[in-house]
């Protein structure tokens, strides 16, 4: 995610929110699902990582890579859309007293120099 925030295509495991955030061939590369056992290095996982990175290396420096960078730059990573979708799901449950929230803009956190130190 940090790479996307700086407009760099990513290589990621195909799991969780990364499946929705990293778009294969548009904003990065998917390795597929990797083993969830962190105590074992699976040979199949090593092959997935190596194969994905080889694909990524072939794209770097090409017009396709530049297009991927542009796609990363314009991608909306805010919570506004997902939050609205989630709100709509909750409202569709028809719970008494449920009503839409207030529309607003996402506020960025203060710059590091403006945050009180412990």
- pLDDT at residue 39 tops 60: yes
Give the pTM: 0.67
Range list of H helices, the chain:
2-5, 18-21, 43-59, 63-74, 80-91
Distance between start and end Cα atoms, the chain: 27
From 35-39, 84-88, 102-106, the region with the lowest mean pLDDT = 102-106
Domain boundaries along the sequence of the chain: 2-74
Between residues 116 and 99, the one the model is more confident about: 99
C-alpha–C-alpha distance, residues 61 and 20, integer Å: 25
């Amino acid at each position: 995610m940090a790479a996307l925030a700086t407009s760099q295509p990513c290589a990621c495991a195909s799991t969780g929110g990364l499946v929705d955030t990293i778009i294969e061939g548009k904003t990065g590369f998917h390795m597929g699902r990797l083993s969830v056992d962190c105590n074992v290095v699976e040979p199949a996982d090593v092959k997935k990582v190596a194969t994905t990175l080889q694909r990524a290396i072939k794209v770097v420096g090409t017009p396709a890579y530049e297009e991927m960078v542009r796609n990363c730059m314009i991608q909306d990573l805010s919570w506004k859309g997902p939050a609205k979708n989630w709100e709509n799901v909750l409202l569709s449950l028809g719970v008494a007293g449920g009503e839409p929230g207030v529309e607003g803009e996402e506020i960025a956190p203060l710059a590091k120099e403006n945050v009180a130190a412990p």
